[in-house]
């Protein structure tokens, strides 16, 4: 359930003058309970997410949910047992291409406001695009993971430990990397208690 500030943010995002916000596009804002200690940020919605209006519901999302559940959090949980999910960009890019730098930059002020409103104890960035959007980092994934936890300082002065890991779509193509993803979750878990 959204509080009034999240609802106002959703309305602002839905009215954003953005190249992907067209009359035929669907806003994919977020899911989960705002009282969750963990905020998960992905790249952008895919076809399934656009159909349902909810992030991470396709094959990648099902794997992500399974792995997060295995670590003890769920979309319906609160506090340390919950996770709240959104994307760096709230509309699906054509042909499921990665969002452009401009598309990400237009959404960034709203994404950071979203983070402030959720006020998570930790953030999990899944994939290179999310890492670039939130931390402005573009190193190889192995390097980014080795530097976990990263820190972001929000405008309200709060510093949030931030972890970068593989996108679940990558895990579907490279199942051996699932072990590394689970290691990242285990490391992050101590921050959301």
Q: Which residues pair with 42 in a beta bridge?
A: 87
Task: Read off the CATH number of the domain in which 20 is found.
Answer: 3.40.470.10
Sheet of 150-153, strands arranged across: 30-31, 79-87, 36-42, 122-126, 159-165, 150-153
The stretch 97-110 carries a mean pLDDT of 95
Q: Quick one: DSSP state of residue 51?
A: H
**Averaged confidence pLDDT in the chain:** 94
Of the pLDDT bands very low, low, confident and very high (cuts 50, 70, 90), residue 100 is very high
- 148-182 in b/e form (b: 16+ CB < 10 A) is bbbebeeeeeeebbbbbbbbbbbbeeeeebbebbe
Q: Which of these, 87, 86, 101, 85, lies nearest to 19 by C-alpha position?
A: 101
Inter-CA distances, 110 with 93, 168, 190, Å: 18, 24, 28
Q: How many domains does the chain have?
A: 1
For residue range 129-159, list pLDDT tens digits in order.
Answer: 999 999 999 899 999 999 999 999 988 899 9
Q: What is the model's pTM?
A: 0.95
For residue range 104-127, list pLDDT tens digits in order.
Answer: 999 999 999 999 999 999 999 999
Q: Which of these, 181, 150, 151, 149, lies nearest to 165 by C-alpha position?
A: 181
The yes-or-no verdict on residue 1 having pLDDT over 70 is no
Range of the domain at 155: 4-189
Inter-CA distances, 169 with 33, 72, 155, 157, 178, Å: 24, 21, 32, 33, 11
Give Cα 25 distance to the centre of its chain: 20
The yes-or-no verdict on residue 193 having pLDDT over 80 is no
More confident residue, 85 or 154: 85
């Amino acid at each position: 359930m959204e509080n009034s500030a999240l609802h106002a943010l959703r309305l602002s995002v839905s009215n954003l003058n953005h190249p992907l916000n067209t009359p035929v596009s669907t806003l994919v804002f977020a899911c989960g309970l705002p009282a969750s200690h963990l905020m998960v940020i992905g790249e952008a919605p895919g076809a399934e997410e656009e159909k349902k209006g909810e992030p991470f519901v396709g094959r990648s999302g099902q794997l992500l949910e399974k792995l997060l559940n295995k670590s003890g959090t769920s979309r319906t949980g609160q506090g340390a047992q919950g996770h709240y999910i959104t994307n760096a960009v709230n509309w699906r890019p054509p042909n499921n291409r990665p969002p452009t730098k401009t598309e990400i930059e237009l959404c960034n002020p709203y994404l950071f406001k979203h983070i402030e409103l959720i006020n998570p104890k930790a953030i999990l960035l899944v994939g290179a695009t999310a890492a670039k959007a939130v931390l402005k980092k573009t190193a190889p994934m192995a390097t980014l993971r080795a530097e976990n936890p990263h820190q972001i300082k929000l405008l309200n002065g709060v510093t949030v430990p931030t972890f970068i890991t593989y996108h679940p779509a990558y895990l579907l193509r490279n199942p051996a990397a699932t072990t590394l993803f689970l290691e990242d979750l285990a490391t992050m878990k101590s921050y959301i208690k």
